[in-house]
A and B are shown apart, each in its own frame.
Chain A
Amino acid sequence: MSLSSARSITASVHPPRAVFTDFPLGRTAGKPNDPASQDLIVRAALDHLASAERPGEIRSLDLRWAETDDWKDAVMRPAPASVDGDPGRAEDDRRARTAEPQYQFPEDLDAVVPDCPTCFVPAAR
Chain B
Amino acid sequence: MRQDPIDYIARTRAQYGALGYPPYAWVEEPDPPPFVRPSGGASGWRVGVVASGGIYALGQPAFHWKDDLSFRAIETSTPREALRITHFAYDLTDAREDPNVVLPLDPLRRLVATGAIASLGPFAYTFMGGIYSSRRVRDVLAPAIADRLQHDEIDVALLVPV
Contact = CB atoms under 8 A, between A and B. Distances in A.
A55 B35 CA distance: 5
Interface residues of B, number: 94
A89 B5 contact: no
B70 interface: yes
Contacts of A98: 64-66
Pick the most buried of B33, B47, B71, B72: most chain A CB atoms within 10 A of its CB: B33
Given A116-B60, A116-B61, A120-B72, A8 B2 contact: no
A74 to B, nearest CB: 11
A9 to B, nearest CB: 5
Contacts of B27: 12-13
Contacts of A4: 161
Contacts of A27: 94-95, 101-102
Contact of A3 (B34, B139, B158): B158
A87 interface: no
Contacts of A90: 15, 18-19
A50 to B, nearest CB: 6
Interface residues of A, number: 79
B107 A26 contact: no
Contacts of B139: 124-125
Chain A interface mostly helix, strand, loop or mixed? loop
B64 A104 contact: no
Interface string B1-26: 11101111111101100111000001
A50 B57 CA distance: 31
Contacts of B136: 124
B97 interface: yes
B28 A12 contact: yes
Contact of A95 (B62, B88, B100): B88
Q: Which 4 A-B pairs have the closest CB atoms?
A: A122-B144, A32-B98, A55-B35, A26-B90
Given A26-B94, A38-B100, A108-B58, 15 more contacts: A6-B161, A8-B7, A12-B9, A27-B95, A29-B102, A46-B42, A55-B33, A90-B18, A97-B130, A102-B63, A102-B64, A109-B62, A118-B72, A118-B73, A122-B143
